[in-house]
Structure 1
Amino acid sequence: MTDVREEAPHRVVTLVRPGLLPMELGIVHRLFGTALGDGGQPLYSVVTCAPEPGELTTDADFTVNVTLGPRALDDADTVLVPAAVEDYGPQERGQLAEPVRKALARIPAGARVASICTGSFVLAAAGLLAGRRATTHWKSCGELRALYPEVNVDPDVLYTDDRGVLTSAGVAAGIDLCLHMIRSDHGAEVANTVARRTVVPPHREGGQAQYIERPVPEPGVSSTAAARAYALAHLGEPLALEDLAREASMSVRTLSRRFLLETGATPMRWLAEQRLQHARRLLERTDEPVDQIASGAGFGTGTAMRQHFREALGVSPRAYRNTFRGTN
């Protein structure tokens, strides 16, 4: 006899609270709701519930009427907890409204649980992030770490995935998180199609460190733009700090300081990231051999590039190409 439950779409339940951010709720419905199988069938069913259903306030000038209560969580395969306005106020250790606590207790064992932005504070207060790697909006990472020292807070990434419990950085990083889950469930092709329909990149490069507020260079202060442009045009060549400093008409010391201020990374770390991303694009879009890509991207040898890929992405270049191009 066929198991009807196994054939049903993966059930995604978004648990929202008063003061919800409509954009974060929309992200979940838009991305999971447009993921389709080969026959055009929906791969997910997406519903919204609240600990106490009814008309919920938002951070905008309208309300959202949520008709489903916490029972909707009983058969969830994935639970998303977006942020709410209350998350941005003063926090006390272990603070969690009783209706929210009771709702979270209904999540089935084995269900995937994820948060968007400061929804991570809800997961942390419920004990779901203890001993796990997690992130949140960059402005709140220090507070999350201070309130919940048992959580391994990573302030530099757009999202984390630690044994079925996931978190994302601020607001739009929820897109990266949802695409990651779709990609994990159904592969790169489905996730890439969803991304194209939504007009967003299938995978956003870098972490949230690039969005942290940094002082704007004063008028007249030299920029590292020339050095960066030169590096991008010569990725396949050996490049030293002295080469970049010369292009920027700066000393090595000034270049290093300005680079960190403008990009959030040291020159060599930035250069390594650009080479990695260039190699990724070539693996996804061309049939060039790995050794040839390694040379063109500035890694020198295929062996060196394989080491960089394993350290940065946890996979080999061949496995990366197979995943994103569906080849064998």
Structure 2
Amino acid sequence: MRPVALAVTDGMLQFELSVAYEVFGSAPAGVTVPWYDLTVCGSHSVTFGRFRLEPDRGLDHLQDAGTVIVPGWADVDVDPPADLVDALRAAHHAGARVVSLCTGAFVLGAAGILDGKRATTHWAHTDVLAARYPQVQVDPDVLYVDNGSVLTSAGKAAALDLCLHLVRLDYGSSIANTTARRLVVPPHRSGGQAQFVTAPVPDQDGRPLTALFPWIIERLDQPLTVEDLARQARMSSRHLGRHFRAATGTTPLQWLLAQRIRHAQELLEKTDAGIDAIATATGMGTATTLRRHFNRTLGVPPDTYRRTFRTRVRSSPVHATARAQGRESD
């Protein structure tokens, strides 16, 4: 069990609290590994509109948790309670991974946990966070920031993105995707994606890239170029780039690489395929190329990732295809 403490007090946003409770409170159907052990911690009963929440434990329990999550703080012009700030600081000093969702970053800022670190919050409050805590490197243009032991997210939907990111770090891509399917949300948006993007000028159907995305996913084993994508979308490469940036916050090739890496993660978790076979199945070409991009993106080589997140899921159609292409030792 991975102990997670949800720090609550009056003045917190119930959406972000509910998101964390939904993700970490119970395992998705079909996931049999031991799930998180979630505890709600607070110094008193907390009122959210018509609802009252009774904490399981006091704030002193935060320092016993492996991960502490702070939901959004409703009024950023009001200082968070001193007992919460002190307990959060103690938990951080005790080695807990500290996570803020949306404006919960203001609580981390008050505790000094963000000093000298890059962080984000809801785009409407990034200027306030930067002005109040000048030692914090506030980035207004990302969904979430992962500093290892300290993580912060932008608002609302980005809080869910960060929670799924934590599941991916702890349990791997396959289980994170299962969790996302239960929640009926995209399995992964990278933290560096823009908080909001300008809507593209729609084609007649209003969705110029709707058919392109699944077409790409079905062909990840092929050496696709921007010209290939533009030709399939029936638009110029420049026009495609504008639509991609507007829809995803990134370029076609960056998005394509992210899909290849994600597919490689799933194959490493679920199959016995060798690195050469996975490189072929994901369109990376060679094991050297796969290792370079994988290490640069995730910070660990493929074989280390496999040892960390290996599941007992056996042969699948993708597994059989990759295995038929040959195996080699990692």
Whether these two folds match at TM > 0.5 is yes
How big is the shift at 1:216? 4.7
Aligned to 1:241: 226
Assess, with a 3 A threshold, how the Cα gap between structure 1 residues 207 and 147 changes in structure 2: closer, same or farther: farther
Unaligned residue ranges in structure 1 (runs of 5+): 1-8
What is the Cα-based RMSD across aligned positions, in Å? 4.1
Aligned to 2:190: 207
Task: Report the structure number with the largest CA radius of gyration.
Answer: 1
Instruction: In structure 2, give the amino acid aligned to 1:63.
Output: F
Assess, with a 3 A threshold, how the Cα gap between structure 1 residues 215 and 324 changes in structure 2: closer, same or farther: same
Please state if 1:96 is matched with 2:79: yes
How big is the shift at 1:258? 2.0
Q: Is the 8 A contact 1:31 1:198 kept in 2?
A: no
How big is the shift at 1:156? 5.9
- For 1:290 and 1:207, how far apart are their aligned partners in 2? 24
Question: Which of 243, 248, 251 is the matching residue for 1:266?
Answer: 251
Question: Which of 24, 41, 49 is the matching residue for 1:48?
Answer: 41
Assess, with a 3 A threshold, how the Cα gap between structure 1 residues 75 and 262 changes in structure 2: closer, same or farther: closer
Assess, with a 3 A threshold, how the Cα gap between structure 1 residues 72 and 42 changes in structure 2: closer, same or farther: farther
Instruction: In structure 2, give the amino acid aligned to 1:215.
Output: A
Aligned to 2:114: 129
Give CA deviations for 1:90-145 in whole Å, capped at 9, x if unaligned.
x5xxx624xx1343224353142322221001211332101123232344445434
Assess, with a 3 A threshold, how the Cα gap between structure 1 residues 244 and 176 changes in structure 2: closer, same or farther: closer
Aligned to 1:62: 50
Please state if 1:114 is matched with 2:99: yes
- For 1:203 and 1:257, how far apart are their aligned partners in 2? 22
Of 165-174 and 312-321, the range deviating more from structure 2? 165-174
Q: Is the 8 A contact 2:25 2:37 kept in 1?
A: yes
Unaligned residue ranges in structure 2 (runs of 5+): 313-329
- The equivalences for 1:25-40 within 5 A come to 25-34=17-26
Please state if 1:188 is matched with 2:171: yes
Aligned to 1:14: 6
- For 1:199 and 1:42, how far apart are their aligned partners in 2? 15
Instruction: In structure 2, give the amino acid aligned to 1:101.
Output: A
- For 2:146 and 2:55, how far apart are their aligned partners in 1? 30
- For 1:326 and 1:271, how far apart are their aligned partners in 2? 25
The DSSP-based 3-state class of the residue aligned with 1:64 is strand
Please state if 1:83 is matched with 2:66: no
- For 2:36 and 2:225, how far apart are their aligned partners in 1? 49
Of 281-290 and 210-219, the range deviating more from structure 2? 210-219
Give the TM-score taking structure 1 as reference length.
0.73
Give CA deviations for 1:22-52 in whole Å, capped at 9, x if unaligned.
34334444554447xxx999863613314xx
Assess, with a 3 A threshold, how the Cα gap between structure 1 residues 183 and 272 changes in structure 2: closer, same or farther: closer
How many pairs does the alignment contain? 304
- For 1:118 and 1:183, how far apart are their aligned partners in 2? 23
Give CA deviations for 1:225-264 in whole Å, capped at 9, x if unaligned.
4544443333222222222222222222222222212222
- For 2:55 and 2:186, how far apart are their aligned partners in 1? 34
